[in-house]
A = this chain, B = another copy of it.
Amino acid sequence: MNELTGPVQIIGTGLLGTSIGLALRAAGVPVWLSDANPEHLRTAVSLGAGEHPPSGGVPQLVVVAVPPLTIAEVVLDALETGAVVTDIGSVKALPLDQVSDQAPESALARYVGSHPMAGSERSGPLAASAALFEGRPWAVTPHVHADPAAVALVEALVRSCGATPVRLSPVEHDLAVARTSHLPHLLAVLAAAQLTDAVPEHLTLSGQGVRDVTRVAGGDPHLYGQIIRANRTTVGDLLRDVRRQLDELIHAVDEPSADTLVEILNRGVAGTQVIPGKHGGPSLETGAVYVLVPDHPGELARLFTDIGEIGVNVEDLHIDHDPARPAGLVELVVESGAAERLRAALGERGWTTHR
């Protein structure tokens, strides 16, 4: 049966496990929770992410949401219940190898790895959210002998959480995340590590660029260490690739010849252009309108009332509030064609605006 009627047993109630529980409960699917950490479990249950499993109950689907090093062992255990089993670890080939080594063929057919591309800098059940997976890609990585019904059930799980299933082989998946996640993470780490050698006064010159580049380097070193080691071969190959390009870059910087350097920088621009827009379409061309919003209660609400009347769609916004100043600078991000119209209309309504 391909319909996700549940119960879904979630093993591991950290950020992701608890968020899946919350999403499934919101979709009306029965959820059982378990965790080696009784405090996490208690928290997840109290948040409404699911219930304790009844004794002797058999789930329709088991979701293994445990740290990387214990995934294979927990998957093997779960397969013994006769349920379909998925794990949501960040690397797919290694746990598959480990599970294949030990599971009988009939059990292995019920194992379909997957990986939700969602998360947050925070961890633990208190940071969980039913909306964590909304609109996000969720890789589904069946091995060649997986039961199609099991694959369909895992894809139903993905959709119930509001995410979009992306079918990839385990090896393809690991290459994809090495490029789009592990390598960027490591390059961010190299950029951030350089900052520890800087004197504080030099750091005052930091702008948005270095904040963006190094943000992801703040993630949990133990968790990322496990993930990267689990994807060691692919990540190692990409790092060697990067090293070759770094040599090329050092040579280009040393030599007065402008062309090679610009060529390398152009490759960078090309790279930014192939990243899909957040919801799958091409990235929207946007412009910004800055509005000074005084620190009185109700000013922000008044701004949005006006924006609503003007009728321009706000794609994103940022508030920059310097505690030393009595007003905040709100940056409204709109489709670039609409920016000037919005700015002028807000100006007419008495707002202080800038481009």
Q: Tell me the A residues contacting B by CB distance below 8 Å.
A: 22, 117-120, 122, 126-132, 134-137, 139, 166, 168, 172-173, 175-177, 179-181, 183-198, 200-207, 209-219, 221-222, 224-225, 228-229, 232, 235-236, 238-243, 245-247, 249-250, 253-254, 256, 258, 261-262, 264-276, 278-281, 287-288, 290, 292, 297-298, 300-305, 307-309, 311, 313-325, 329, 354-355
Contact = CB atoms under 8 A, between A and B. Distances in A.
Contacts of A322: 134-135, 278-279
A59 B119 CA distance: 55
Contact of A232 (B253, B292, B318, B320): B253
A130 to B, nearest CB: 5
B204 A276 contact: yes
21 contacts: A119-B207, A131-B292, A134-B320, A172-B201, A176-B201, A187-B188, A188-B209, A193-B267, A193-B271, A196-B270, A212-B213, A217-B268, A221-B265, A221-B269, A225-B258, A229-B256, A229-B258, A297-B311, A300-B307, A301-B305, A316-B318
Contacts of A238: 194
Where chain A touches its partner, the secondary structure class is helix
Contacts of A130: 354
Contacts of A254: 232, 236
Contacts of A275: 195, 203, 206, 210-211, 214
Contact of A229 (B173, B221, B253, B319): B253
Select the residue from A22, A274, A314 with max chain B CB neighbours within 10 A.
A274
Contacts of A302: 301
Contact of A316 (B192, B243, B319): B319
Contacts of A204: 137, 166, 276, 280
A227 to B, nearest CB: 10
Nearest to A264: B189
